[in-house]
């Protein structure tokens, strides 16, 4: 589109909003236009969002009809915003004091709040460890202590509950993936499995699918898998791809 990236640029997240395509990642130009890690496409041209960020954009979401971006940045649009910020169409704004570390890997809107997950903390909020939600005014925690394992976390809503997938390296390079659900008041575990790393969730025919990578004991089919609520294992989908997805 309009000239695209250079070979060494990294595009991570895309999102459509108000009939425009937004792209976040790690790049300093697109379509011969100077941008810093975030840009939008109106169908004909690329354009920047302010002066962009000083680090990679890893997640995008729309909440209360405004664009939110998370990533490994401390400055975006010329303002200090640690790891997450809001774009009102003209300017960037911080969300309170932001994160104590930069590591949000996914954003998702659930029950009229914006959820962020990844590897981060929020000052003064014990339950905001690696997962928290923004109600438009304040950050709030999930469960008692948040998540202790939060590498490559993914979020999706299913059956009126927020599904949270995360994985940790238990004995490198073997992964333990844990799938939890949150109903707005209680955080519960419903599935664990070794050797599968979850990166994204999808809903198809009212069933939960995940994509990601695998450890050395996993079949290649595990790169795309179907989970059943309450099950202890996932079901491979076909023969699967031959690389992480």
Q: What is the pLDDT of residues 60-88, one digit of tens each?
A: 999 999 999 999 999 999 999 999 999 99
**Model confidence band, residue 32 (pLDDT cutoffs 50, 70, 90):** confident
Q: What is the pTM of this model?
A: 0.84
Rg (CA), the chain: 18
Residue 132 has which token pair?
């928290």
Q: What is the pLDDT of residue 206?
A: 77
pLDDT (mean) for 29-58? 92
Cα atoms in the 13 Å half-sphere on the side-chain side of 24: 28
- Max avg pLDDT among 43-52, 161-170, 230-239: 43-52
pLDDT digit string (tens) for 4-16? 555 454 657 899 9
């Amino acid at each position: 589109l309009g000239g695209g990236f250079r070979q060494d640029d990294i595009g991570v997240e895309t999102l459509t909003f108000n009939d425009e395509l937004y792209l976040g990642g790690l790049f300093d130009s697109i379509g011969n236009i100077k941008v810093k890690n975030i840009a939008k496409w109106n169908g004909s041209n690329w354009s920047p969002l302010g002066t962009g960020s000083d680090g990679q954009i890893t997640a995008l979401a729309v909440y209360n009809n405004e664009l939110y971006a998370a990533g490994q940045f401390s400055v975006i649009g010329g303002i200090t915003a640690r790891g997450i910020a809001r774009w009102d169409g003209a300017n960037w704004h911080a969300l309170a004091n932001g994160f104590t570390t930069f590591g949000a890997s996914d954003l998702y809107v659930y029950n009229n709040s914006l959820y962020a997950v990844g590897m981060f903390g929020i000052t003064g909020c014990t339950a905001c460890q690696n997962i928290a939600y923004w109600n438009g005014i304040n950050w709030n925690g999930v469960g008692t202590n948040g998540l202790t394992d939060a590498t490559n976390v993914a979020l999706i809503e299913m059956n009126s509950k927020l599904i949270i997938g995360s994985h940790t390296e238990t004995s490198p390079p073997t992964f333990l993936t844990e799938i939890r659900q949150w109903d707005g008041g209680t955080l519960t575990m419903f599935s664990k499995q070794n050797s599968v790393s979850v990166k994204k969730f999808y809903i198809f025919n009212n069933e939960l699918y995940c994509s990601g990578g695998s450890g050395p004991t996993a079949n290649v089919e595990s790169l795309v898998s179907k989970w059943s609520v309450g099950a202890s294992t996932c079901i491979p989908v076909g023969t699967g791809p031959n690389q992480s997805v």
